[in-house]
Amino acid sequence: MQAVKWMHTVRLGVLAGLWLVSNGVSAQTAQTAGGAQIQGPGQVVVAGTVPDEATRVAVITRLRELYGAERVVDQLALGSVVAPPQWSQHVQKLLSPSLKQVSHGQLSVQGQTVDLKGEVGNEAVRQQLASEMAQSLNPTYTVRNGLRVAVQEQAVVDQALANRIVEFEPGSAVLRPAGLLILDEMAAAMARLPGRRFEVIGHTDAQGSHASNVSLSLARAQAVKTYLVSKGLRADSLSTSGLGPDQPVASNATEDGRARNRRIEFRVGG
């Protein structure tokens, strides 16, 4: 297949087969190299040949649940291919939320052979993803783990942030001057990684309602994105999410802990 940055790919072909790609997408059938179109950033393309309409619908439905209907591009074809028993069910097990942890990813499923390639944030995730896949499948399936840890690129971002807190005005998404200075450094560091995508993740403490904290965390992440774009980063290279109080790094029982939890996280390949 063609090499495309920021993608996830799932391939099911020859026997029954498919390619899935997300975050800037390309896919191809096993029978025809280069058969699929390269798509824009953020799209998820699924291509390949499956044995029947029920399998096609099941795969597309699952992907839309994972990535959102507006992002999924269906390039699946029906053909006279041989599918192992319960192949459709096994493929759906592979299409799990864990795939979102992979960037530059390729998941190839041909018959009972599964090849997983791409980049993840750390060694634990690298091993966990392949293990989860193997455990979810029939023992007759082989999972080949070609994931690698993208340590250097994430380290560039982590070292720039240096465990500092991007500060906002209390209860708002208005950045404080100290926060802007940190973001100036972050913009310079991220510019050293051309072609990469970044996820800006907002976090809060546990004070107040869960819903309001999730909303505030997302608004803060979006404010950070807006500022980074003003500093020259491409808008389509930045995605945002708000997790509210759900992933604390310290106890919310103390002011110091709450301050540490009110943070912005930057993830390469998000």
Kind and range of the H or E run holding 129: helix 123-136
pLDDT at 222 over 50: yes
Helices (H), strands (E): how many in the chain? 7, 10
pLDDT (tens digit per residue) in 34-72: 333 434 456 777 878 888 999 999 999 998 998 788 888
Q: Strand 103-110 relative to strand 17-21: parallel, antiparallel, unpaired? A: antiparallel
19-28, 66-75, 100-109, 153-162: which range is least confident on average? 19-28
Report for 98-102, 107-111, 210-214: range of highest mean pLDDT:
210-214
Give the integer Cα–Cα distance in Å for 270 and 260: 22
Which of 149, 168, 191 is a domain's end point? 149
The boundaries of the domain holding residue 115 are 10-149
- For residue 188, tell me if it sits in a domain: yes
* Pair 20, 145 in one domain: yes
On whether the pTM is more than 0.85, the answer is no
Give the chain's domain count: 2
64 & 158 share domain: no
Residue 233 pLDDT > 70: yes
Poorest-confidence range of 12-16, 120-124, 175-179, 245-249? 12-16
The answer to the question of residue 5 being in a domain is no
Whether 141 and 37 map to the same domain: the answer is: yes
Residue 247 has pLDDT above 50, yes or no: yes
